[in-house]
Structure 1
């Protein structure tokens, strides 16, 4: 339990707050984040939160919280919380539905992808103010020459690849994105799906199974077999998590 030095007799003491008064980021009316920290509610101890709303296929971009662990709770909708275990060097994907949580240890690389519309997540942190380092800032602010030299890459191609990232993304894809998504290949099946910001496309699939880019088909969501998650992608079935 954190130590509080709050004067609870002060006329400025706060016990309640409306998160709608503190928007952290807004992409559009379906994709936005409100925040609560000790700056908004001065009686908070070692805790803070983000109130996250996402539509299908939208992503809270890869990032770390260098000062806090994060507990992601699904209120409505569904999402996949993905993180990299720095000790095993493995990418882990955890589908969550209402009433389920996924925990991200402090400083671990992670991101969240909404798999249905009207997804509402609450992220709870064990710090009075969560710190946030997004991938978009690291990619756009690190010189292309450093990436090229460090990883033996073509500097011109690195510049070209990262040039569209001109600001912190937070929720991706950016609202003006019209480029096709990468073409993943899973068990010999490929699909290129266009990104239309704010208007995810839902396609009927009869003989083929497609998977969300970046999520291993054996770690896809058991709860949504053949569930469209927008942009033409669906999940395959796999062994159910949570001991079911």
Structure 2
């Protein structure tokens, strides 16, 4: 990049590039080299979430990600491909979680007005979400590969017709007996306040075999 060029860009308003908008409280703005041509190997997502909303499981196969909490609170969950374990990190303002390149991960807001900044070491991070893999892989192949009932798989995945990005999708209706993501995210709050781990440790509510049932 010729930094003396008249076309060199040094400032940008992220509100001009909305990556995804679910509603007024759940939105992602993006900054990459297409928006700011003087960027090197860096980019970011400006993420706004309300309670129980989820940045769907995904990978960035060409970039590592540093998730910084500006306001609110969230759980950042990472699957370690070497230990085969799910790691869950509660972050509050001023705290970060690092997601290595290509690792499966997702984020869940645990309070309203959560604001996260996701910073990448690539000027255009690739986003490969679970919703695309589920809706584009034939149900017959999933059923055959994992020894599942094909009709059940088709029925379960039929509502996924687009890339979700922030879930649950708008208008989501679930069976009454099933715990919604928002309810599941709220259930452990009391225990969370009593058993908050030292920063950097994974958080698990002792009442459950997994933290935040229904989200993992």
Same fold flag (TM > 0.5):
yes
**Which consecutive unaligned segments of at least 5 residues does structure 2 have?**
202-216
Tell me how far apart the structure 1 counterparts of residues 137 and 71 of structure 2 sit (CA, whole Å).
37
Aligned pair partner of 1:125 in 107, 120, 124: 120
1:243 & 1:151 partners in 2: Cα distance? 35
TM-score normalised by structure 2 residue count: 0.87
Aligned to 2:198: 241
User: Residue 234 of structure 1: CA displacement?
Assistant: 3.0
Corresponding position of 1:169: 164
Separation in 1 of the partners of 2:50 and 2:43? 24
Q: Tell me the residue number matched to 1:93.
A: 88
For 1:128 and 1:175, the matched residues in 2 are separated by 30
**Residues 27-64 of structure 1 deviation map (CA, whole Å, 9 limit, x = unaligned):** 00000000000000000000000000000000000000
Q: How far is the alpha carbon of 1:239 from its aligned partner?
A: 5.4
Pair 1:41–1:52, CA change in 2 (3 A): same
Equivalences for residues 64-213 of structure 1 within 5 A: 64-180=59-175, 192-194=178-180, 212=185
Other-structure match for 2:213 = none
Contact 1:180 1:194 in 2 (8 A): no
Write the distance in 1 (CA, Å) between the matches of 2:175 and 2:38. 47
C-alpha separation in 2, matches of 1:13 and 1:64? 31
Identify which of structures 1 and 2 has the higher relative contact order when contacts are C-alpha pairs closer than 8 Å and 6+ apart. 2
RMSD over aligned Cα, in angstroms?
A: 1.8
Distance 1:16 1:243, change over 3 A: closer
User: What is the Cα deviation at residue 178 of structure 1?
Assistant: 1.6
Matched, 1:15 2:10: yes
Contact 1:64 1:134 in 2 (8 A): yes
Q: Provide the TM-score with structure 1 as the length reference.
A: 0.77
How much does 1:8 deviate? Answer: 1.3
Could you tell me how far 1:87 is from its partner in structure 2?
A: 0.4
- Find the aligned partners of 1:29 and 1:108 in 2 and give their Cα distance: 29
Q: State the partner residue of 1:35.
A: 30
CA distance in 2, matches of 1:241, 1:62: 25
Cα deviation, 1:46-95, whole Å, max 9, x if unaligned, reads 00000000000000000000000000000000000001000000000000
Whole-Å Cα distance in 1 between the matches of residues 95 and 81 of structure 2? Answer: 24
Q: Distance in 2 between matches of 1:7 and 1:167?
A: 40
Asked if the contact 1:82/1:111 (under 8 Å) is kept, the reply is yes
